[in-house]
Structure 1
Amino acid sequence: MYEYRKLSPEEKAEVVRQRLAKGYPPHSPPHPIKDASHYLITAACYEHKHRITTPQRRQQLLNQLFETFIQENITILAWVVLTNHYHLLTKTVDFRWLSKQLRLIHGRTAHQWNKEDGLTGKMWYSYSDRAIRSEKHYYTTLNYIHYNPVKHHLVSSPYDWQESSIDWYLQEKGRNWLRACWLEYPVKDYGQEWDN
């Protein structure tokens, strides 16, 4: 998105032409796989501005995600909410429900937080999804989600970030399971191209 702004009008037109030729929307993330059962969902604040800076906002967002998703029979398997984006590992039956619910949640939170902050305008930059294609992809994604607060220099240990599913996994699976999962499915450069 940010590289696009640096392009000439001709280069921008060519990028849009190529996206449309692939069947993608001109300016938002494509959602090409709609029949997989597990997804990594990533949503970022517009221009990666830090708008989810308080624990209360992060918890409010998590509460809305869980309440809404439970009603729609969408399971959140892992999560992390940072100060300017969040990641969810979900299991869903109907992708259209997921898309609709995220738009509703983003609309509600944007309206409320803009009002609280005395701001107007866009708060969220849509969302992206990645279909989970294998067991290795699933567990590497799980580790990536839990390590994300460390990657973004918010804490030195994933166990120190409250708005994450790592504590749930620690209670349900134990530290040895988490350690074995980390060793068997290392993150390495996962997310390097799309989560910087």
Structure 2
Amino acid sequence: MYIYRKLTPQEKAELVQLRLSRGYPPHSPPHTIRDNKLYLITAACYEHKHHMSTEARRQQLLDMLFEELVNNDVEILAWVVLPNHYHVLVYVENFDSLGKSLRIVHGKTSRYWNLDDNITGRKVWYSYFDRAIRSERHYNATINYIHRNPVKHLWTKSEFDWNQTSVHWYLQEHGEQWLLDRLVEYPVEDYDGDWDV
């Protein structure tokens, strides 16, 4: 993610030209699949700093995501907010409204948290990345991946011990057995990589 900073000026120029020649923006991640309806969105704090180390900030971000995304016809299907990044599984009708909504939420939280920490000009967010959901298997494995994220990053021993996650909603709506069956049927061990292509 931060390899660009380590490049020489000539390497940076060559990389930017390569991105432009492929139709990508010069520095942002490309959003190449724009006609899908389901996406996994991942956003990380700049340099993976823990700007959301308090439960209050994580909940503030989550509340803002729900307010902004729902107001722009984006449905949130699963979520987790950790101290330095978050994941949301969304259903969208218009991909452009998703990006606009995320920029608003990131802008507002940056301002609020910088004021709260009495810091000016600090960059809070790096960017967001999207991955189109390609199949029912990918969809269910993504939900499991989101719910297991606090355990994966060693924030807790059980996903049920983390508050800013949709696992509690799924538990209430479908029950523990449903969640366990999904974990067995759609394991997350092979989630990374191109298994779903």
In the superposition, the TM-score normalised over structure 2's length comes to 0.94
Aligned to 1:142: 143
Render the CA deviation track for 1:27-70: whole Å, top value 9, x for unaligned: 11111111100000111111111000111111111111111222
Measure the CA separation in 1 of the matches of 2:37 and 2:52. Answer: 28
Aligned to 2:32: 32
Measure the CA separation in 2 of the matches of 1:114 and 1:191. Answer: 33
* Residue 97 (structure 1) aligned with residue 97 (structure 2): yes
Q: Which amino acid aligns with 1:166?
A: V
Cα RMSD (Å) of the superposition?
Answer: 1.4
Q: Which amino acid aligns with 2:21?
A: A
Q: Which runs of 5+ in 2 are unaligned?
A: none
Measure the CA separation in 2 of the matches of 1:111 and 1:173. Answer: 38
Measure the CA separation in 1 of the matches of 2:119 and 2:193. Answer: 31
What SS class does the counterpart of residue 189 from structure 2 fall into? Answer: coil
Q: Which runs of 5+ in 1 are unaligned?
A: none
What SS class does the counterpart of residue 138 from structure 2 fall into? Answer: helix
Measure the CA separation in 2 of the matches of 1:128 and 1:191. Answer: 14
* Residue 65 (structure 1) aligned with residue 65 (structure 2): yes
* Within-5 A mapping of 1:161-180: 161-180=162-181
User: How many residues were matched structurally?
Assistant: 193
Render the CA deviation track for 1:63-111: whole Å, top value 9, x for unaligned: 1111122222211000000001100000010011111011011101100
Aligned to 1:153: 154
Measure the CA separation in 1 of the matches of 2:192 and 2:84. Answer: 16
Q: Which amino acid aligns with 2:140?
A: Y
Render the CA deviation track for 1:107-156: whole Å, top value 9, x for unaligned: 01100100111222211112111111111111111110001111111001
What SS class does the counterpart of residue 104 from structure 1 fall into? Answer: helix
Once the two structures are TM-superposed, the CA of residue 192 in structure 1 deviates from its matched residue by: 6.8
* Residue 115 (structure 1) aligned with residue 115 (structure 2): yes
What SS class does the counterpart of residue 178 from structure 2 fall into? Answer: helix
Query: Taking structure 1 as reference, are residues 164 and 192 closer, same or farther at Cα in structure 2, changes over 3 Å only?
Result: farther
Please, which moves more after superposition, 6-15 or 27-36? Answer: 6-15
Aligned to 1:6: 6
Aligned to 1:131: 132
Please, which moves more after superposition, 61-70 or 105-114? Answer: 61-70
Q: Which amino acid aligns with 1:13?
A: A
